[in-house]
Amino acid sequence: MARIFITGSSDNIGLGMRSAQALIKRGHDVYLHSRNSQRAQDARTACPGAKDVFVADLASMKEIKALAKQLNQTGPWDAIVHNAAHPGPMFGVANPKNEEGISILFIINTLAPYILTSLINPPPKRYVFVSSGMHKGGDPSLRNIQECSYSDSKLHNVLLSFWFARHLANKGVLSNAMSPGWVATKIGGSSAPDNIDAAIDTYVLLAEGSGVAEGETGKYWYQTQARSSSGSGHETSYLKALDDEALQDQLIQTLEKISGVKPPE
């Protein structure tokens, strides 16, 4: 039995909630997350098997740090899944700035997982960074990062996962990225063609560290399979680019400067 925390897991048709329900059925202690108390109550109703729901608005630097403190007090954890995401203007959703003048898409999708992963101590055994196939359209130059698009932020998620895989390996921490695929959620739409059950199975596989994911780190997963940077083909070439340690380091340095939060050594 594992203790698992999933960000952005209060929507009853979202992948965070559905994956939480699947993990609970498998006997795990799962903790949900919502951005406000009303959504937390809705999450408790939709998922009565959850151990608790942590409330934090990930568009606020202050609340992200408070959530990290709460997670440290409640831990240790077996797995933390960075699932929360803001869809941004590409999906017809406004992307205003928060009170600190930071783009809400950027802080939720990129900065929040960086801050949480840097502040949680001891770290969990496993981190899962939920990316998207749209990360292939992301800008690897990292220019104007605070004005990033959804695709840019999903690229950041993969880079973060790979950086933490390298830098937390000495603590026995596994860190992987995954794409759920284009599945039927609020973002994906009802006609999305990919298999949502395979997406949920991938969440479960990585959160548990079971099956083919046992002992694996620094990889990108899609429909329960790792897309390794070894081998050949367009997908492999792209993943090799994501393996660029200098690019990963550049992202971490940029996020440290913006947030004032140091990464783990």
- 238 annotated active-site: no
Q: At what angle do helices 15-25 and 196-208 cross, to 10 degrees?
A: 60
Spatial CA neighbour of 205 closest among 180, 231, 172, 170 = 180
Q: Are 130 and 83 in contact (CB under 8 A)?
A: yes
Cβ count within 10 A of residue 40 = 19
| Active-site entry in 31, 114, 127, 154 | 154
CA distances from 47 to 33, 53, 54, 118 (A): 12, 10, 14, 29
- Cα atoms in the Cβ-side hemisphere of radius 13 Å centred on 149: 14
- 203 annotated active-site: no
Query: Which token pair is 12?
Result: 């009853």
| Active-site entry in 150, 203, 220, 222 | 150
Helical spans, DSSP H, in 75-149: 104-106, 112-119
Q: How far apart, in whole angstroms, are the C-alpha atoms of residue 23 and residue 227? A: 23
Q: Which residues are annotated as catalytic?
A: 150, 154
